[in-house]
Chains A and B, each alone.
Chain A
C-alpha cells in the first residue's frame, strides 16, 4: 500500500521534497574532513610515502568522489528496493566478515586483520555490516507490524544482531565496530517498540553492570599483575601508563588541552608531528581541537547535531515505517560513532578504535556512510510535500 501511493505521487510529478541542508551538512563535513586529513597526515605521508605529503588526502579524495557517486545512485533509486536485500544484507555481511580469515583475501594492518583485499582494493567488512544491520532490521520490524509489541517479536529483534556482533568482535577482532552494530540495532528497536520501562530497565542494568565491572577490574588489577585490565586502568589514570596503554590517549589529551579556546591555528598542530599515533584516523578530533580549539571542536559537534536533526525530521516524515527505520538506523549509526569517538579522544571512556564519520581517514567508512546518506536522501525525496 505504501509502495503504491508513492508511485502515484511520482506519476503526477509533484513538488518533490529535497533536504538541501542535509546535503550541505554532508558536503561541509566531507570537505572539512579532507582539509583535516591533509593537515593531520601530511607529516606522516611525507615521511612514509617518499615525500608525497598528499598521499592520504589523494586516497581519501578518490574514495569520497566514489562515495558521492554511490550516494547519488542510492538517492535516486527508490529505497524500497533495499527490502529485497534483507536476507542478503544479514547473511552476506556475516559471510564477508568470515572472508577476512580466508588466506589471500584477509589483509592485516596495524596488527589487526580487519580488511579484505580483492583486486588491489581493500575494504572493511565491518562497515558493510553496519549498513547490513540497518537494512535487515528496518525491513523485519516494518513487516512485523504489531508483532514488535509481543515478547517474542521484541526478543527476536533484540537478539538478531548478536551473531553479527560476535562475528565482528571475534572474527575481525574489532570490538568497537561490534558495539556500534549492536547499538544501531538497539536504537532501532527502541524506536520501533512502544515500550519505555523495559528500555529504562536495560539502561539501568547496563549502567550498574558497567560501573560494577570497572570497580571489580580496579580491585583485581591493584592486587595482581594482570595485564588484561591495563586498558581500563590506563583509562582511569593515563598518566600512570604513559609508555604503553595510556600513550595514545595521553598524547590525545596533550593535543586537545594545548588547543585552548581558539586553538593553535589550522595546520599548526605539533602533536600530529609523530607524537599522536593515528592522528589522521581515530584521533583526528584531537588534532581538530589542537588546531581550531574548543571553538572548532564544538562547531564540528554542532554540525553533527544538525545532521542528526535533519535525520530526525526526515524520519518523522518518512512515507512509511521502513523508510523511517532506515533513517533512524543511519541516525543511530552516526550518533553512536561520533559520541564514542569523542568520548575516546577525551578519555571519557576506555580507548577503542572508532573513527569519526566523514572526517577520519578511511575509504570503506566514507563509502558506506555516503551510501547510507543516499538512502536517507532517497527517503526524503519520497516525502509528499502536502503531508508536511
Chain B
C-alpha cells in the first residue's frame, strides 16, 4: 500500500518538518541575539581571557638643577626570567644564569626546571649584567628592562625633591607637584595567549609605545644646597639642635636656590628610619615616624617668627607714616599695654633711641609703640596686604597656612605681641617671601623651584610662571627698610652676619617655643645681600639649640658663612640675573 494513500501521514510528515523549521528559527534568533546583540560583551570577555597585557614602563622625567646637575634620574634595571616551555638547553641556561647572577646552580636549576608559564629568576639586575645575559641568546631566557628612580646625591634636598613609589608615582616633594610632567605614559604589549598562557605568534602583538616623561628644571643650585647642608649639619651638631633649616632664595623673583632641612633622609631608601631611632612596633607607628622624617620644616611647619617679624611691623609703620626713621623713643626695659607690663629683652632698657637704633637694638617697646600707632584695623590690613594670611603658593605639597588671631579677638595686648612676632605662627617660607617682597621694592613674589619643563628631545615645552603682586609697599619704604636692616648688620644685633666686602642686611630672632618656660628656643637669622640691591636672601633657623640660643650669636654666623661663599659664586653665575 503506497504511502500516498495514507494522506494524513503525508500531512503529519509535512507538519513535523515545519515544526522543526519553527524550532530552527527560534535557534537562529537566539544565535543572532548572541552574535549581534551580545557580541560586544562576549568579545570583551573573551579578550580579557585571551590577552595578556604587559606594561612597558615609561622613563620618568628627570629633575635638573640650575647648574644642569641631575637630581633625580632613572636607572635601567633588568628582570631575568625563564619560560619553561621555550628552554632548549636547560644545562646551559642554568650554568650561565648561575654564573652571571651570582646564584648557586641549585637555586637556578630549581627555577629552570619548574613547570610554569614564566618564572622570575632575579629582578633589579643592573643593565650591564642584563645585556651580557642577553648576548648569550639563550632560548627561553627573557631579559626585561625596567626603570627605577634613582637619586644620585642620596640625601641632598631630600625633603624638597621627594621620591617615588612602586608605580613610579611621586610620594612627596617636587615628585608629587610635577607628577603630570614627570610621569610620562606607560606603554603596553598585548599578546594573545592560549589556555596554557603560551603566546600565539600568528595573532601578533599589539604594542603601544611608552611616552617618556618630561624633565623638570628647577632653580635649586646644587652647590649652594650642598654648602648650606654642610653648614646646617655643623650647626645641628655643635648646638645639639633638633633640626636646622636653611632657605636661600632670590628675593626679586622668588626662585629658591636652596632649601635645607637637616636631618635629611636618603632618597634611595626612603623607608629606612634613621639609625638610632626607636624601632616602631606597629605599622601606624612606623608610618608616623616616616612622615616625621619626610617633613619639610620650611613649608610644612609653622613657628612664632619672633624679632624677624619686626621687619613687617616696621614696613607697615613706615608705609602708613606713623613712624619715621628719626622718631625718638625711650625704652625703660618694659612697656605698659593696658594693665600688662611687657618686658624688653634688655632688662635695663635701651634708654633713648631713634627708630633706626630701636631696630638695631631689636627693642620690643619701640615696635609695640609702632604697632599701637597703627591700631588693630590698619595692622590687620597690612598683615593681609603683605600676603601673610594666604599661603605663599610654593610649588611643594602640604604648605601650612598662617595661624593667626581672628581680627575681632585682637585687643591691645595681642596687637602688642604680634608687633614683635609672637602669639601667631607662620612658616619660614612665608617669612622669607614676605621680607623679600618688602625689600625688593614692594613686589610680592611666589617662592618656587620649577623653572621649565623640557621634553626628552631637549625642547622646552613649558616655561613655568608664577603670580607676582606689585606695590604691596612703596619703593620709598622698601629703600628705608633696606637701609635699616643693613644698619642692623653693620652696627646692631646682627653684627655676626656681616660679610667683609659685601653690604648685608638682616635681622635676628630668638623665640621661645610654646609652652613658655619650657627652655626650648628657636633661633633664627634672616639676611640678604647686597643690601642696596638684594640678589639673595637667606634664612637660617635652629630648632632647640643647647647652650647659647641667641639668634644673633648662633644663626647669624651660619648666614655669614653661607654668604661669604655664595656671594662671590653668585656674581659669577649668570643664571641668577
Contact = CB atoms under 8 A, between A and B. Distances in A.
B42 A258 contact: yes
Given A257-B34, A258-B42, A274-B194, A332 B14 contact: no
B404 interface: no
Contact of B3 (A1, A190, A319): A319
A2 B2 contact: yes
Interface string B521-563: 0000000000000000000000000000000000000000000
Interface in B15-68: 16-17, 20-21, 23-24, 26-28, 30-32, 34-36, 38-39, 41-43, 45-47, 49-50
Interface residues of A, number: 54
A270 B192 contact: yes
A315 B13 contact: yes
Contacts of A294: 31-32, 35-36
A254 B49 contact: yes
A317 interface: yes
B347 interface: no
B31 A191 contact: no
Contacts of B4: 317, 387
B39 A260 contact: yes
B500 to A, nearest CB: 81
Contacts of B43: 257-258, 260
A274 B24 contact: no
A192 interface: yes
Contact of A261 (B2, B20, B23, B35): B35
A331 B34 contact: no
Contact of A312 (B14, B46, B194): B14
B208 interface: no
Interface stretch (A166-174, A321-329, A358-366): A321-329
Given A319-B2, A320-B2, A321-B9, A335 B31 contact: no
B17 A257 contact: no
Nearest to A239: B45
B42 A190 contact: no
A309 B497 CA distance: 109
B27 A191 contact: no
B13 A324 contact: yes
A339 interface: yes
A297 B35 contact: yes
B13 A191 contact: yes
B278 interface: no
B200 A270 contact: yes
A339 B42 contact: no
Most chain A CB inside 10 Å of its own CB: which residue of B35, B41, B42, B43: B35
Contacts, number: 139
A348 B4 CA distance: 38
Contacts of A187: 16
B9 A257 contact: no
A257 B1 contact: no
B12 A346 contact: no
A170 B324 CA distance: 114
Most chain A CB inside 10 Å of its own CB: which residue of B6, B31, B39: B31
B36 A270 contact: no
Contacts of A311: 17
A348 B17 CA distance: 21
A257 B516 CA distance: 76
Contacts of B345: none
Given A274-B194, A348-B27, A2 B1 contact: yes
B136 interface: no
A343 B8 CA distance: 30
Nearest to A254: B46
A259 B195 CA distance: 18
B30 A301 contact: no
Contacts of A316: 3, 10, 13-14
A289 interface: yes
Contacts of A270: 46, 50, 192, 194, 200, 203
A230 B31 CA distance: 24
B132 interface: no
Most chain A CB inside 10 Å of its own CB: which residue of B1, B9, B20, B41: B20
Contacts of A317: 3-4
B196 interface: yes
A254 B44 CA distance: 9
A1 B13 contact: no
Contacts of A320: 1-3
Interface string A188-218: 0011111000000000000000000000000
A184 to B, nearest CB: 12
Contacts of B38: 253, 257
Interface in A296-348: 297-298, 301, 304-305, 308-309, 311-312, 315-321, 323-324, 328, 331-332, 335, 339, 342-343, 346, 348
A339 B23 contact: yes
Nearest to A304: B24
A258 B9 contact: no
B17 A309 contact: yes
Contacts of B12: 190-193
Contact of B17 (A194, A289, A312): A312
Most chain B CB inside 10 Å of its own CB: which residue of A270, A289, A346: A270
Interface string A252-280: 01111111110000000011011100000
B27 A339 contact: yes
A264 to B, nearest CB: 10
Given A187-B16, A191-B16, A257-B46, A324 B3 contact: yes
Nearest to A289: B35
A323 B13 CA distance: 13
Contacts of A273: 194-195, 200
Contact of B31 (A1, A2, A297, A323): A297
B35 A257 contact: yes
B196 A256 contact: no
Given A294-B35, A320-B2, 11 more contacts: A190-B16, A254-B42, A257-B39, A257-B42, A259-B39, A261-B35, A294-B36, A297-B31, A316-B14, A318-B3, A328-B16
Interchain residue pairs A-B with the least CB separation, the first 4: A257-B42, A274-B195, A273-B194, A258-B46
11 contacts: A193-B12, A255-B46, A257-B43, A259-B35, A270-B203, A273-B194, A298-B31, A305-B24, A346-B30, A346-B34, A387-B4
Interface of B: 1-4, 6, 8-10, 12-14, 16-17, 20-21, 23-24, 26-28, 30-32, 34-36, 38-39, 41-43, 45-47, 49-50, 192, 194-196, 200, 203
